[in-house]
Amino acid sequence: MAAGSPWALSAAPHVAVIGGGIVGCSIAYHLAKSGARVTLIEQHALATGASHGTFAWINATWAKQPRHYHQFSQAGVKAWRRLEHELTIPVKWGGSLEWFASATRQQQLLSDIKEQIAWGEPARMVAKERLEQLEPNVDFSGTSDAAFSPNDGAVNPVLAATIMARAAAGLGAVIKEQCRVESATELPSGQVMLHTSAGMLAIDRYVLATGASEGMAQQLADIALPQRSTPGVIVITAPQPPLLNRIVVAPGVHIHQRQDGRIVLGEQDGAPATTAHVARLKGRPRQFPNTALATAHAQRMLTIAGTVVPGLGSAVVEEVIIGWRPLPLDGLPVIGSVPRKRAAYVAIMHSGVSLAPHVGDVVAREIMTGQSVPALKDYRPERHFMSTGQY
Ligand SMILES: Cc1cc2nc3c(=O)[nH]c(=O)nc-3n(C[C@H](O)[C@H](O)[C@H](O)COP(=O)(O)OP(=O)(O)OC[C@H]3O[C@@H](n4cnc5c(N)ncnc54)[C@H](O)[C@@H]3O)c2cc1C
């Protein structure tokens, strides 16, 4: 029996993809492309979960550890090069520049980059004079050099997910929004009955692409997936004149400029663990409790970003989002069939933006052929999860 998928399905199986974030939309597209009858089910609107409140940096940088996960991330970056052309998704390529304020951390970056090179990345350290040529609108006075990872890119994740879902629909997929899957019951015929807020749906297989919704794997597939989730604030400005060519990962803030001119800011550190913050974040809000707090937070991030990109100081803020990361406890993706539920398949991960096109492809392949994809062997849901605490 193949580890990833217990049996090959009939020519046009009906597969439900639960969760309409960037991962679910990509899986729905790749399944539909492979000949499945697909129903994509999202409890809210498409791409309103982590795939909305994300920095959306496509990368396989030093943080992707260990080696097999780095390789998987490299495949993710490569798959974006395919999908951007296949579906005409705008991707801002150009690479990333990263540096740290602390001398110790900057020293560590040097050895991280050596490892990157050994692992086949064209990354390198670049001296300040060259950095100033690459990004003339960035103030590099706080550093003498930075890591340049030329393969990296960034997307508008909501647009990308929407394009994938639209392409799936073009291949016959049914998209159900505002529809929540409550439970899944195996029928004697081998089919599964999904009980949803909009009625029952009989399907052959179902994929959980439910992101940070902890407990959903237990509820829908009877498997305990140790997951946690941490918040991060994303600020999006109104379109600006061209300021940045690359992703800038500076001390305290991550910055990139989309092709539509909007600047995206991501905070580097999470919320301080004060009692007030813990209470405010308890229900996992996606928005600040009031406009004044949202504005204050955005201004704080803009001020930090303004020290790195001085032309940014007066940008008008359009959106302030609290994103919640889907974090399997050991930091690695969870992808594969659920051993005790023949019809269930799980695809939950951080760095889902970087990975979505590749994951969509390999998940569709496993489900449609019943053959295990060897690159997924370290990500199976039945593995033992060790806590890493990354992010
Ligand atoms: C602040 C922040 C910064 C990040 N930066 C990056 C980055 O730079 N690069 C990167 O690659 N990744 C990044 N990530 C991670 C990345 O955004 C996520 O891994 C990715 O968006 C996950 O996509 P998804 O489709 O799995 O989850 P989601 O987008 O959360 O989608 C899951 C969907 O499932 C739906 N759902 C759940 N349960 C049900 C149900 N029972 N019925 C119906 N629908 C259901 C939810 O409503 C949700 O819409 C970041 C995340 C955050 C929060």
Task: Supply the residue whose CA is at minimum distance from atom 20 of ligand 1.
Answer: 352
- Mean pLDDT along residues 330-351: 96
212 Cβ below 6 A of ligand 1: yes
Assess whether pLDDT exceeds 50 at residue 7.
Answer: no
CATH number of 1-92+152-228+326-391: 3.50.50.60
Q: pLDDT per residue over 225-267, tens digit each?
A: 999 999 999 999 999 999 999 999 999 999 999 999 999 999 9
- Mean pLDDT along residues 354-362: 98
Q: pLDDT per residue over 170-229, tens digit each?
A: 999 999 999 999 999 999 999 999 999 999 999 999 999 999 999 999 999 999 999 999
Mutate to test the pocket of ligand 1, among 269, 325, 348, 354 (most ligand atoms within 8 A of CB): 325
Q: How far is the CA of 20 from the centre of ligand 1 (A)?
A: 9
Report the Cα 112 to chain-centroid distance in Å.
Answer: 23
Residue 190 pLDDT: 92
Assess whether pLDDT exceeds 60 at residue 3.
Answer: no
- Angle at the Cα of 19 from the Cα atoms of 216 and 223, rounded to 5 degrees: 25
Asked if residue 286 lies in contact with residue 321, where contact means CB atoms within 8 angstroms, the answer is yes
Give the phi and the psi of residue 356 in degrees, each rounded to 5.
Answer: -50, -50
Percent of the chain residues past pLDDT 90, beyond the cut: 88
Tokens of 298: 């955005």
- Angle at the Cα of 228 from the Cα atoms of 275 and 272, rounded to 5 degrees: 30
- Angle at the Cα of 38 from the Cα atoms of 35 and 44, rounded to 5 degrees: 150
Residue 150 pLDDT: 97
Each domain of the chain, given as residue ranges in start order, spans 1-92+152-228+326-391, 93-151+229-325
Half-sphere exposure of 236 (CA within 13 A, CB side): 20
Residue 317 pLDDT: 97
Q: Which residues pair with 322 in a beta bridge?
A: 233
Q: How far is the CA of 111 from the centre of ligand 1 (A)?
A: 31
205 Cβ below 6 A of ligand 1: no
The DSSP code for 88 is: T
Query: What confidence category does residue 390 fall into, taking pLDDT thresholds of 50, 70 and 90?
Result: low
Residue 336 pLDDT: 98
326 Cβ below 6 A of ligand 1: yes
Closest to 390 (Cα-Cα) out of 331, 314, 326: 331
80 Cβ below 6 A of ligand 1: no
328 Cβ below 6 A of ligand 1: no
Residue 342 pLDDT: 86
Q: Rounded to a whole number, what is the distance in angstroms from the first to the last CA of the chain? A: 36
Residue 275 pLDDT: 76
Tokens of 214: 């902890």
Mutate to test the pocket of ligand 1, among 233, 258, 281, 351 (most ligand atoms within 8 A of CB): 351
50 Cβ below 6 A of ligand 1: yes
333 Cβ below 6 A of ligand 1: no
Q: How far is the CA of 346 from the centre of ligand 1 (A)?
A: 14
Report the distance separating Cα 300 and Cα 360, nearest Å: 37
Assess whether pLDDT exceeds 80 at residue 1.
Answer: no
181 Cβ below 6 A of ligand 1: yes
357 Cβ below 6 A of ligand 1: no
323 Cβ below 6 A of ligand 1: yes
Q: pLDDT per residue over 108-153, tens digit each?
A: 999 999 999 999 999 999 999 999 999 999 999 999 999 999 999 9
Q: How far is the CA of 212 from the centre of ligand 1 (A)?
A: 6
- Mean pLDDT along residues 362-377: 97
CATH class of 93-151+229-325: alpha beta
Asked if residue 148 lies in contact with residue 134, where contact means CB atoms within 8 angstroms, the answer is yes
Query: What confidence category does residue 391 fall into, taking pLDDT thresholds of 50, 70 and 90?
Result: low
349 Cβ below 6 A of ligand 1: yes
- Mean pLDDT along residues 70-81: 98
User: What number does the ligand 1 atom closest to the CA of 219 have?
Assistant: 41
Report the distance separating Cα 165 and Cα 21, nearest Å: 10
195 Cβ below 6 A of ligand 1: no
Residue 5 pLDDT: 45
Closest to 333 (Cα-Cα) out of 375, 361, 270: 375
User: What number does the ligand 1 atom closest to the CA of 323 have?
Assistant: 53
Report the distance separating Cα 251 and Cα 238, nearest Å: 23
Query: What confidence category does residue 2 fall into, taking pLDDT thresholds of 50, 70 and 90?
Result: very low
Considering only CA atoms, give the Rg of the chain: 21
User: What number does the ligand 1 atom closest to the CA of 209 have?
Assistant: 26
No. of helices (H) and no. of strands (E), the chain: 9, 22
Residue 6 pLDDT: 44
Report the distance separating Cα 56 and Cα 53, nearest Å: 9
Q: How far is the CA of 350 from the centre of ligand 1 (A)?
A: 8
